[in-house]
Chain A
Amino acid sequence: MEELNIKQLWHAYDLKLEKSLQLNQKIMNELQAQKAESNISSFRRGQVAGVVLGVLWALFLVFWTIIGHRNIYFAGSMGTIALFNIFAVATYIKHLALLDQVNVADNITVAQQKLATIQASLSNSGRIMILQTPFWCTFWYNQQLVDHGGSIFWIINLTAVALFIGLSVYLYKKLTYKNIHIKWVKAFIEGFGGKKLIKAMEFMNEIEDYKMEKELDVA
């Protein structure tokens, strides 16, 4: 089909739509009034609920850190876990604020690139939570255990902790988009809700390609 035909076809479609499209006044009015606002609010409420739950969880961890401050092993482990969680909540809030700043009236490549970057960064920041795993193996230590645990107990425990440190650092380094070509990494990221990250990263690459595409004039 030649160019002119495609345009003619589209023009005919335009004429047809012009005659037949009707705007539903009732929905428009409701959309302009409070209904739209309350729906936006319900979406915001979901985000706020997420932040509140995150803050409560972080406060709960801080609370236990303070309560158990006499046991250096408990306080150290719980305090570190709390820091990881505070970081995660702060990152989530920061990203929500950034999402709010994206101007939907910006040009397409700029706005979509911003959106995809924020989505990718938001999904990616959850990765840091993996690093808190070893501290869940040490929070129950106490001075009595340290003094009288015995060598076999410590060999087993420290081996477990070392394994968790090694595993969490390995996963933290490996579970990135640049390793998405590795089957288990892809399955792992997808399994933990990282599909959005993959989509966002793929789209970012697509935009880059789109902008960089060689400017060869075929005509």
Chain B
Amino acid sequence: MGTPEQNQQFLSVIEQHKGIIYKIANSFKKDEDDKKDLMQEIILQLWRSFASYDEKSKFSTWMYRVALNVAIASYRQEKRKKELITPMSDSIITFAGDNDGDDKQYELSLLQQFINELRELDRALILLYLEEKTGKEMAEILGLSETNIRTKINRIKEQLKQRFSKINTL
């Protein structure tokens, strides 16, 4: 437990960046309970490392690193680590809007499905790309060179394009 100021500060940064956590959980887990658990685990790890956050790096870089590391590690686990999870029926972040059944929603669910099918590292990379991260920032988060990042993004984009065109020709 931190000081009240730290608690408040953490709360406000999570409020500000809750979309990142939600999108990462959505891209790494299909099951609703698993998504809930992952969001909670990400926030827990962020809270645990919050005190050691080095202000030299951008906050979002630090946050993506922690969140993606937790998501990728949890993806490899066979069972849910119930011991780590606070048993709650409610989700820590909830989507209160409606999923209207328009074309955009359909395309978005396809895009999410295709992202879900990618390898873990590719998934992390395309998420960063869609979040408009710069090549330098992506390289810092993933620990790869910018050229390597560019090559991989082109490959993944090509993959996604092909998946969409297959659907369109059906």
Contacts and interface: CB of A to CB of B under 8 A. Distances in A.
Q: Which of A14, A39, A116 has the most CB of B within 10 A?
A: A39
Interface in B46-73: 47-49, 52-53, 62, 65-66, 68-70, 72-73
Contacts of B130: 6-7, 10
B84 A32 contact: no
Interface of A: 1-3, 6-7, 9-10, 12-14, 16-28, 30-37, 39-40, 42-43, 46, 103-112, 115-116, 195-196, 199-200, 203, 206-207, 210-211, 213-219
A111 B66 CA distance: 10
Given A6-B157, A13-B108, A21-B94, A104 B69 contact: yes
B84 A10 contact: no
B45 A31 contact: no
Nearest to B127: A10
Contact of A215 (B53, B76, B147): B147
Contacts of A46: 83
B107 A9 contact: yes
Contact of B19 (A14, A43, A107): A14
A208 to B, nearest CB: 11
B76 A203 contact: yes
B122 to A, nearest CB: 9
A1 B119 CA distance: 20
B93 A20 contact: no
Contacts, number: 181
A31 B91 CA distance: 12
Contacts of A216: 151
A219 to B, nearest CB: 5
A108 B148 contact: no
Nearest to A119: B76
B85 A107 contact: no
Contacts of A33: 1
Contacts of B84: 39-40, 43
Contacts of A115: 73
19 contacts: A10-B131, A21-B93, A21-B96, A22-B93, A22-B96, A23-B93, A24-B92, A28-B92, A31-B40, A34-B1, A35-B86, A105-B52, A107-B143, A108-B142, A111-B65, A211-B144, A217-B154, A218-B151, A218-B158
B38 to A, nearest CB: 14
Nearest to B128: A108
A1 B161 CA distance: 5
Contact of A196 (B78, B81, B121, B142): B78
Contacts of B165: 1
